[in-house]
Amino acid sequence: MASQVTAVRGPMIWFRGDPFLTSREDAFVHEGDGLLICENGRITASGDYTALRHRLPEGVVPAHYPDQMISAGFIDTHTHYVQTGIIAAFGSQLIDWLNHYTFVEEQRFSDAGYARRVASAFCDELLRNGTTTSLTFCAVYPQSVDALFEEASRRNMRIAAGKVLMDRNAPEGLLDTAQSGHDESKALLERWHGRGRNLYAITPRFAPTSTPAQLEAAGALWREHPEALMHTHVSENTGEISWVRSLFPERRGYLDVYDHYGLLGRRAVLAHGVHLTRSERDRCAETGTAVSHCPTSNLFLGSGLFHVHDAKDSRRPMHVGLGTDIGAGTSFSLLATMNEAYKVAELSNYPLDSVKAFFLATLGGAQAMGIEDEVGSLEAGHEADFVVLDPGATPLLARRTSRAESVEELLFVLAVMGDDRAVRAAYVAGALAHDRDAPSV
């Protein structure tokens, strides 16, 4: 079978290391005129165009984006595809918001047809915003998981997802049991994990909606399948933390609940972590547990400010990615999410520069999910998922970026002013998956 080779040319950025922990020069790569060569869905060469152009196979002409910026595809480390329909539901505190909006909407996913329609719209929005990898909650119903993985498979996207486990403190129609949740999750994991580019995530919603028996079953399933991810929420707001203490009085704190049941470790991603204590951050660092920073959601629900500088403390750094947390989050755009992450960091007296912000949205997210050898970089050997950003997407953006005096300034302006309009194209496994300027059919 003949190889499928594609190539793109233009300014490029990517990461070889963590700029929170090492120098910009060691972590960050910028090619003013770069070439990316992809074969059978993987990157085979990346670097300076002049140095690499001799490696282009005969007849392969690179798609040329001379005035754009090519980056590894964005990675959303926490979202809820089943909440796509309730973005911008009038804000209240977390628990009220769940009861009034989330639990009502998620019950609609008992209908497989509805799930398929939302899964298609969700994947459209990801690609339109340059997001090529997403870690997402489904609903409690197995058919909601099947619908998303079927849609992701059709598009050859890398999606990590799982059935929500929830056996208490929710409407009757959304509850499973410790045993049924384990059995359904195991069946879904064995059906989908590693099939194509799909990844399964064992997904207890959060400690208050799972009994000790269910958390024990989730831990047992993860021990049986350590190749899977583990995805849940932690320490989003203070009321939630108090609720957890009342439900698990024997544990030292919220994080310790998950620790006790074997739910911390590499490939565990905990959403939010706004109010983690220093000792809890230390435990995350020790176990390799990651946190997904979801600034638009935390601001929308008034949950608090995540201190990224504490999480990335070089003495005991944690893995941190960015999450949109749709639908409490207010945008599918990881550019918009970087914008809010910058503001949250400023309120914590920490200047989050553009290099660090783009790291969190790409390689940092891949590290958080434990898949940094597959995605998150333009290094040779990685899967060929990348995004083409347009610094001239709007008149105001073009006016501002024309004044940029460095690549760092250009990226900062894109992060602060950019949104889906700035995504010129998205490529998945080396194939064009979204073209902003393609004529509508």
What does the pLDDT profile of the chain (441 residues) look like in tens digits? 457 899 999 999 999 999 999 999 999 999 999 999 999 999 999 999 999 999 999 999 999 999 999 999 999 999 999 999 999 988 677 778 888 889 999 999 999 999 999 999 999 999 999 999 999 999 999 999 999 999 999 999 999 999 999 999 999 999 999 999 999 999 999 999 999 999 999 999 999 999 999 999 999 999 999 999 999 999 999 999 999 999 999 999 999 999 999 999 999 999 999 999 999 999 999 999 999 999 999 999 999 999 999 999 999 999 999 999 999 999 999 999 999 999 999 999 999 999 999 999 999 999 999 999 999 999 999 999 999 999 999 999 999 999 999 999 999 999 999 999 999 999 999 999 999 998 765
Which residues pair with residue 234 across a beta bridge?
A: 272
CA dist list (Å): 373 to 74, 309, 348: 15, 25, 32
- Where, residue-wise, is CATH 2.30.40.10 in the chain? 5-72+377-435
193 Cβ neighbours under 8 A, 6+ residues apart: 199, 200, 225, 227, 228
Tell whether the torsion through CA atoms of 322, 325, 328 and 330 is positive or negative.
positive
Topology adopted by domain 5-72+377-435: Urease, subunit C; domain 1 (2.30.40)
Nearest in space to 272 (alpha carbons), one of 254, 257, 287, 256: 254
| 256-266 core/surface letters (b: 16 or more CB in 10 A; e: else) | bbbbbbbbbbe
Q: Crossing angle, helix 407-417 and helix 334-347, to 10 degrees? A: 100
With contact defined as beta carbons under 8 Å apart, do 334 and 132 qualify? no
- Any residues with CB less than 8 A from the CB of 249 and at least 6 apart, and which? none
Residue type at 312?
Answer: K
Ranges of CATH 3.20.20.140 domains, the chain: 74-369
Tokens of 348: 């914590």
In this prediction, residue 90 carries a pLDDT of 86
How many angstroms separate the Cα of 206 from the Cα of each of 169, 203, 240? 11, 8, 10
Q: How far is CA 109 from the centre of its chain?
A: 22
- For helices 178-192 and 142-155, the axis angle rounded to 10 degrees is 20
Identify the pLDDT of residue 91.
66
Angle at 284 between CA 326 and CA 219, to 5 degrees: 75
Q: CATH says 74-369 is which class? A: alpha beta
CA distance 250 to 238: 19
**The predicted structure's pLDDT at residue 92:** 73
